[in-house]
Amino acid sequence: VGGSVAATQTNTNLSLKGVHYFALINDGPNEVYIVISELGISYNTTAATTDFELKNGEFMSFTSQQGFGRVSIICQTGETGTVRYIGHR
């Protein structure tokens, strides 16, 4: 899987469909906040501006033995961003 998504003050949910590895790149122009959900684990998957911060230009990669279900992404009120992603099973 791969592509890019727009981030706004409203949650954007990206379906990862069970990938075991994925990476996020914040193409900016603002910081984004993310929450990651593994498959089979039930907890809050709505991002808030108090969650993990990925600043403009930063890159993060993640791995999971059981696979990821989705990522939720949000920006501060009035801001926007673009996040690229790539993943594989």
Closest to 27 in 3D by CA, of 84, 72, 77? 84
pLDDT grade for 17, boundaries at 50, 70 and 90: confident
pLDDT digits (tens, 9 = 90+) for 23-56: 999 999 999 999 999 988 766 679 999 999 999 9
- Residue 43, pLDDT score: 63
For the full predicted model, state whether its pTM sits above 0.85. yes
Mean pLDDT for the stretch of residues 49-68: 95
With residues binned 3-state (H G I as helix, E B as strand, rest as coil), the percentages for the chain, rounded to 5, are: 0, 65, 35
What is d(CA 57, CA 43) in angstroms, rounded to the nearest whole number? 29
